[in-house]
Amino acid sequence: MNCSRNCLDLIEEFEGLRLEAYRDPVGIPTIGYGTIRYPDGRKVQLGESITEREAEAFLTFECHNIGKEVADLMEVQLNQNQFDALVSFCYNLGIGAFTESTLRKKLNEGDLQGAAAEFLKWNKGTINGVKQELKGLTRRRTREKQLFEKVGDEGTAIELEESPREKVTLLEGYRDSENNVIVAWNNDQVVEIVTLDNAIKDNMIAVLQQYPRAGSFRIAPSGKSLPSGARIPFTDRESAISRVQNPPRLDRILARGSEGDDVKRLQERLQDLGYYDGSIDGDFGRRTDAAVKEFQAKVFGLAEADGKVSQKTWAKLWGNTTPVPPRPPGPAIPGRHYLRLTKTNQGVFEQRGQTWG
């Protein structure tokens, strides 16, 4: 399913529109309707500006991605109004909050009335270390609940325009001085040109994975001139991370909206590595999400910068080359403290809200 105009209207009403980049309440550069990363993975920078049309395109793109995750978590059929309400909920709170919520549990059990009642419980924010009701969140949860329960008058799902990268049919490799260059073709038209300043195999693979419909990759014939045009540099992976002995265990996937001591350990580790400068509060919010994605982009490449902390990302945070096995059931060890591609205009290959509840 895809979201409808009803979903976008609801989100736009509560997010507000800013066409020039600004710092949100937790200090993250933001633009449009709450966008902190463009569809090509670049982080929003202060001083940038966009048009209203671009702001809506960025919102639609993010809602489309959130919608796919919502659909994957559902074991029951949703109507358009229910789906739209859940996408708005997750846009604000994060997919992690929804994944672990009673709302999702009741919905998958077929308890629609019980699920609807759960919306109103997610109206709190942490202020000076204390969770308290926020009137703005109460209004938003009420509107989402009303949309979820609405019968009839459903919106029409919005179909996204096909990405230019999905139109690429051929990838062609060139050598230009010290750089490897990949030219993406749609028949005889150049879609884009990507440069790599090294020959690391994983980096090459990460670039090729961005073109799902490319039928083949070939080396350009000898003597063939490199096409002219703007080039997109591919950011190299970061150097190895020093291994930590006896790192903490992780027994679940962390994502925006998750809470708990394991999120605190995640924030502490990201802070030690220089990716995170927020509060160590155990809430996987906007700032933690941005830090995780930046870390993943640096060590794995853009293709894996999804903000979800699985065993692979967790292991890499502590310098391990293999994932740390899940901790067996039982209490955690107390008293132990441990020291983060689609393209719009141009930029580098590199991918939001506080957590409430």
For 60-114, the pLDDT digits (tens) are 989 998 999 999 999 999 999 999 999 999 998 888 889 889 999 999 999 999 9
Helix (H, G, I), strand (E, B) or coil at 186: strand
Report pLDDT for 49. 93
Give the CA angle between residues 37, 39, 45 to the nearest 5°: 30
The CATH number of the structural domain formed by 5-149 is 1.10.530.40
Range(s) of the chain covered by CATH 1.10.530.40: 5-149
Report pLDDT for 11. 95
Report pLDDT for 323. 45
Residues 6+ apart with CB under 8 A from 136: 14
CB atoms within 10 A of CB 109: 12
CB atoms within 10 A of CB 328: 7
If pLDDT is split at 50, 70 and 90, which confidence band does 159 have?
confident
Q: Write the pLDDT tens digit of every residue in 160-215.
A: 766 777 789 999 999 888 788 999 999 889 989 988 877 667 677 777 877 878 88
Tokens of 184: 């993406």
- Helices 135-149 and 80-93 sit at what angle, rounded to 10 degrees? 160
Annotation marks residue 109 as catalytic: no
Report pLDDT for 346. 35
Nearest CA-CA partner of 248 in 310, 325, 321: 325
Report pLDDT for 254. 94
Report pLDDT for 303. 59
The chain-wide mean pLDDT, for the chain, equals: 81
Report pLDDT for 345. 35
Range(s) of the chain covered by CATH 3.30.420: 164-233
Q: Are 272 and 304 in contact (CB under 8 A)?
A: no
Nearest CA-CA partner of 334 in 261, 280, 283, 252: 261
Q: Is the pLDDT of residue 356 over 50?
A: no
Q: Are 237 and 300 in contact (CB under 8 A)?
A: yes
If pLDDT is split at 50, 70 and 90, which confidence band does 154 have?
confident
Residues 6+ apart with CB under 8 A from 147: 6, 10, 81, 84, 85, 88
Q: Are 284 and 255 in contact (CB under 8 A)?
A: yes
Radius of gyration of the chain measured on its C-alpha atoms: 22
pLDDT (average), residues 119-141: 85
- What span, in angstroms and rounded, lies between the C-alpha atoms of 195 and 174? 9
Report pLDDT for 328. 36
Lowest mean pLDDT among 55-64, 74-83, 348-357: 348-357
- Helices 80-93 and 5-15 sit at what angle, rounded to 10 degrees? 30
Report pLDDT for 324. 42
Q: Which of the following is catalytic: 12, 15, 149, 172?
A: 15
Q: In the chain, what percentage of residues exceed pLDDT 70?
A: 82
Q: Is the pLDDT of residue 296 over 60?
A: yes
Q: What is the number of alpha carbons within 13 Å of residue 51 lying toward its C-beta?
A: 5
Report pLDDT for 26. 65
pLDDT (average), residues 302-322: 80
Range(s) of the chain covered by CATH 1.10.101.10: 238-340
The CATH number of the structural domain formed by 164-233 is 3.30.420
Give the CA angle between residues 324, 287, 11 to the nearest 5°: 120
pLDDT (average), residues 135-139: 91
Report pLDDT for 338. 23
Does the pTM of the predicted model rise above 0.85?
no
Strands 29-32 and 170-176: unpaired
Report pLDDT for 205. 76
What residues pair up with 232 in beta bridges, in sequence order? Answer: 194
Tokens of 69: 């995750």
Report pLDDT for 240. 55
Q: Write the pLDDT tens digit of every residue in 11-43.
A: 999 999 999 999 877 678 899 999 988 876 778
The CATH number of the structural domain formed by 238-340 is 1.10.101.10
Any idea of the CA torsion for 323, 324, 325, 331, to the nearest 10 degrees? -150
10 Å CB burial of residue 222 (0-12, 13-18, 19+) is exposed
Q: What is the number of alpha carbons within 13 Å of residue 283 lying toward its C-beta?
A: 22
Residues 6+ apart with CB under 8 A from 328: none
Residues 6+ apart with CB under 8 A from 173: 180, 181, 182, 183, 217, 218, 219, 220
Query: Phi/psi at 41 (nearest 5 deg)?
Result: 95, -15
- What span, in angstroms and rounded, lies between the C-alpha atoms of 292 and 271? 11
Q: Is the pLDDT of residue 349 over 70?
A: no
